[in-house]
Amino acid sequence: MFSFTRFFAVALACLFAGVVSAAQPTLVVYTYDSFTSEWGPGPQVEAAFEKSCNCDLQLLGLEDGVSILNRLRLEGDASKADVLLGIDTNLTAEARATGLFAEHGLRMNSSALPESWQDDLFLPYDYGYFAFVYNRERLPDPPLSLRQLVEAGDGPTLLIQDPRTSTPGLGLLLWMKNVFGDDAATAWAQLAPRIVTVSKGWSEAYGLFLDGEADMVLSYSTSPAYHMIAEQDRRFAAARFSEGHYQQIEVAGMLKSSKQKPLAREFLQFMLGSEFQRIIPTTNWMYPAALPATELPPEFSDLIDPSPALLFDDQQVARERRGWIDEWLEAVTR
Amino acid sequence: MIRGPVSAYPVLALLALVTLAPLAGLLGGGRLETADLAFWNSAYVWRALRFSLWQATLSTALSLAPAILVARALAHAGDFTGRAFVLRLFAVPLVVPAVVAVMGVVGVYGSQGWLPLGRSLYGLNGILLAHVFFNLPLAVRLLLPLWQSIPAHHWQLGEQLGFDVRQRWRHLEWPALREGLPGVALLVFMLCLTSFAVVLTLGGGPRSTTLEVAIYQSLRFDFDPPRAVILALLQLGLCVLVALATLRWQRLPEVEIDTAPILAGQHRRSRAALPLIMIAALFVALPLAALTLDALRGPALEMLGRPRLWRAAGISLAIGFCAAFVATLAGWLLLRTSADLARRGRAERAGWIETGASVVYVVPPLVLGTGYFVLLSPYVSPFDWVLPLVIGVNALMGLPFVIRCLGPALRQHQARHEWLCQSLGLRGWARWRWIDWPVLRRAFGLSAAMVCVLAMGDLGVIALFGSSDSTTLPLLLYQQLGAYRTDEAAVSAGLLLLLCLALFWLIERVIGGRDA
Amino acid sequence: MLEIDSLAFRYATSTTPSMSFSLTVEAGELVCLIGPSGAGKSTLLHLLAGFLQPGAGRIRVDGSPIELLPVAERPITIVFQQHNLFPHLDLYANVALGIAPSLSLDSDQRDAVDAAFARVDLDGLQRRKPGEVSGGQRQRAALARALVRARPVLLLDEAFGALGPAQRRELILLVKTLVTERRMAALMVSHQPRDARIAAERTAFVLDGRIAAIDSTGALLDTPELPAVRDYLGEL
């Protein structure tokens, strides 16, 4: 009884202890928690920016990009955030529609993106391509195109994510739509028998893949770089598809309601600088948006060339997403 | 004058408030147009509804039937070596976050596992397997006390009358079981109904779509809070209907004051008992063993030296303890009234109080959390309130477990001692200190341990609110998985399991007393 | 001293007609209640103790009405057949609860508890748990608690029904001595007419929720006027 009381007291003390206040200005950035985790870019970015800004950079990690945008929609003008970092091009149209973002007034001088970037509200910090990752020892002859993957009745088994709950899942949906157009539903129906399972998020599917549950998993073209660099394991590769790969561009933007606009702009400028950009490849495992290819880690040159980059206009995605998801549901449950 | 404790009504009112206020907040926050309402009878929602019900019903049946056999075997096997361990083992699946459980199940039944099922794992089979893994042990723990509540005199009577196994079941065990089984069934049903990551991941595809997925979807990519609330209310209504059905089926025993104290091990040992327990223990232990082996293969020693891991473990523990405290206290207040009503022959109203406190479980934490956000953000910064909110929501989610653990014990205690306490004028602190606490501490210990472990494994609310300095162990684990660190995630999962086992032992000891 | 005046009660769920009891017990007197099962003997005791609420009627102790008092404040102690003691507390604590529910006793109170143990012949068993003593000893401890509570009315609800004849006799005689000493008014429900002969001056026969007959124990048991009493006693 008394020990229980003590436990509780200690627990409470742990919980509510110490809120640090500082005299410096604070810049609040909403991002996703794999950005802020100890393996993500967060800790290094925070240290580097605070060295020069004479400020306190607070990175608050939410579940993922969708959560960041939803949080902003809930908070509206009253948001504590100065900058949002981590929404992708599938969400920018809706983010724009909130009317909460301020023009950044900056220019991208050294874009590494395959397309030119012109956006008054959002600036990209990294990008990547969706791809099917496989184990070379298990699958010596991966399909060479998305069409081949779909049409080979006895082709490799797949693990994918659900477009209703995950970003890569939505990415594949758009990729299929981009390649097959109006025939996407038929293609999905053809693919369905070889889909082992459709998981809630990337982590579940990738975990199942590493457990050997299927031949290929929907992931990023840069995923093998992790295994090469962190694990010195060269068995994993992404399959290059001749139609090209659907692209994901992750962006940041500053808010109208921010009381620290100059500081927020300084952060966005810093984000495009080489110090920030060099942190990205081996922490976020994506291509930095403003770093010449020559400055990437050497292992990145062993990755597939995913060109051409496929990307729908963000307005179109916002308009059609619901209908496309219904079409997908219909096709794979048939 | 007999004055029953009235504490249930304020607590129930508070419960309704903390559940419905965030829903109302979400409804009010969004623009609700009549066109939006058409969706609820769309084919999509109905399919999700049908599948939710179907898989939850099957999962419940498949968890409960063996659980009854195993609990019976445990009751009949007497005191064998390892009994305490088996019982603690059965508490562990509660703590396992869904994503980890899936890994454990795949480790055993996956194509590279020990008992490969191949592709047939994905689909209804996989869902059921994982749900039975979660719920069979839980049901055993909750059903076992029902056997222990059968008075020794009844067993002796059965022996004297020459009951065979079937008659013993019919006249002694089933009547005792009937009191608790509907409640346990409802709890398991709710757990399966709201299961989400397991259903999607092992379900093989969107054919296995539950209502919970639809709710999640409408609150995320669609960002349509009113729709999410309506779906959540649909789920709540569904559960109330199921609760009504179980309540009708439930028979609270006639209160019999003259029962002799329980004497364990009075009846003959059954020969089939031990093998059956072994099989069940193996079924629960295998996925856990697969996870443990993964943890040992990972960089365990290196990770154990990292302060971040221990910090996360500390925060998880703090959340667990606080949620356990709040849920146990609220549950106790509710149960005092319901036990009092049951003692006075108003079993129906007693049942309603307990059911009301249980069904709030099915309002998804995502909906509750977002609702609280809408309600609180005009006044305070929710970031500063992450931990109280997480504790509050987890306590709410833990309440049905408290009701199931503490309820029967409290009812029996009231039936035996209420009048004596009244006639001696025992009340307030003295009654609590000398009577209620010593008699009920075991049940309190079990309830607190369950809620604590459940809250420790929670992933629902903490990730939603997000905050860099309140990373819990499951969240850390999820971050590791999200950053390709599968080996490190395995270590975190191992630590989570170990903490849970240790915690169960500790709480049952500290609160439950030496002989727990 | 204990006056029961048209005390009415009806079980909500039962089809039996409503009960109505009238009875007076003097200080120092032990009255035995006999009668068939379901006649209302225990119901009467539970009404007196306050576990049940009467529909109408009066209960007076020393002239003041008590039917509106909470259970614990009534000048009454009741002893049940079972579960009089809390199994997790030792006999001493179980008796001490009768003086101070907080279990913090001053030295006078501790002396009173010890005296009660001596009075019921349990000296030396203070530290035993209820499970470690005999059924007779458990009921003695319950009587010791009744002593330290020192309430003017004592109710025995088949308190000795589970004991053997010799032990029962011993305990009833003990009760009789205590009742006389402390000038208590005592009501004892029993299934055994023989119990009445041991110590009760008067015996009441309860039938269908009424005191159907009351007389000196000898007269009621040996020369019953009422046919129902003859049927109940059988052997006569």
E-strand ranges in B186-230 read: none
Structure confidence at residue A23 as a pLDDT band (50, 70, 90): low
Closest CB to B423 among C13, C49, C103: C49
d(CA A211, CA A209): 5
Window from B106-110, B154-158, B358-362 with minimum mean pLDDT: B154-158
Structure confidence at residue B103 as a pLDDT band (50, 70, 90): confident
Q: What is the pLDDT of residue A10?
A: 46
Min Cα–Cα distance to chain B from C71, Å: 5
Buried/exposed code over A311-324 (b: 16+ C-beta within 10 A; e: otherwise): bbebeebbeebeeb
Q: What is the pLDDT of residue B263?
A: 40
Structure confidence at residue B425 as a pLDDT band (50, 70, 90): confident
Judged by CB atoms closer than 8 Å, whether chains meet at B425 and C84 is answered as no
Q: Is C15 on the interface with B (CB under 8 A)?
A: no
B41 against B348, higher pLDDT:
B348
Buried/exposed code over A186-205 (b: 16+ C-beta within 10 A; e: otherwise): ebbebbbebbbbbbbbbbbb
Q: Is the pLDDT of residue B226 over 70?
A: yes
Judged by CB atoms closer than 8 Å, whether chains meet at B206 and A198 is answered as yes
pLDDT mean over A267-273:
95
pLDDT mean over B145-160:
71
What are the tokens at A231?
């694990």
- Which are the contacts of C197, defined by CB distance < 8 A and separation ≥ 6? C217, C218, C221
At least 3 CB pairs under 8 A between chains C and A? no
**Chain B residues with at least one Cβ partner in C under 8 Å:** 1-3, 257-258, 260-261, 345, 416-417, 419-420, 422-427, 429-431, 433-435, 438-439
Sort out which chain B residues have CB atoms less than 8 A from A60's CB and list them: 383, 466-468
Instruction: Select from A238, A114, A89 the least CA-distant residue to A171.
Output: A89
Sort out which chain B residues have CB atoms less than 8 A from C49's CB and list them: 419, 423
Q: Is the pLDDT of residue B324 over 90?
A: yes
Q: Is B383 on the interface with A (CB under 8 A)?
A: yes
With beta carbons less than 8 A apart as the criterion, state whether A77 and B378 touch.
Answer: no
Q: Is B99 on the interface with A (CB under 8 A)?
A: yes
Mean pLDDT score of chain B, rounded to an integer? Answer: 81
With beta carbons less than 8 A apart as the criterion, state whether B475 and B98 touch.
Answer: no
Question: What subunits make at least 3 CB pairs under 8 angstroms with A?
Answer: B
pLDDT mean over A82-92:
93
Judged by CB atoms closer than 8 Å, whether chains meet at B424 and C86 is answered as no
Question: What structural domains does chain A harbor?
Answer: 9-127+249-301 (3.40.190.10), 128-247+305-332 (3.40.190.10)
Q: Is C231 on the interface with B (CB under 8 A)?
A: no
Q: What is the pLDDT of residue B118?
A: 78
Contacts of range B50-53, beta carbons closer than 8 Å, 24 or more positions apart: B51/B207, B51/B208, B51/B209, B51/B210, B52/B193, B52/B210, B52/B211, B52/B212, B52/B235, B52/B238, B53/B193, B53/B238
Q: What is the pLDDT of residue A18?
A: 38
Q: What is the ipTM of this complex?
A: 0.81
Q: Is the pLDDT of residue A330 over 70?
A: yes
Interface test with B, best of A14, A90, A284, A285 (most B CBs within 10 A): A14
Looking at the DSSP assignment, which residues form a beta bridge with residue A87? A251
Q: What is the pLDDT of residue C28?
A: 92
Judged by CB atoms closer than 8 Å, whether chains meet at A15 and B511 is answered as no
Residues of chain C short of pLDDT 70, as ranges, are: 12-16, 235-236
Q: Which residues 211-230 of B are in CB contact (within 8 Å) with A? A: 213, 216-217, 219-223
Question: What structural domains does chain B harbor?
Answer: 1-30+298-516 (1.10.3720.10), 54-296 (1.10.3720.10)
Q: Is the pLDDT of residue B291 over 70?
A: yes
What are the tokens at C114?
């010890």
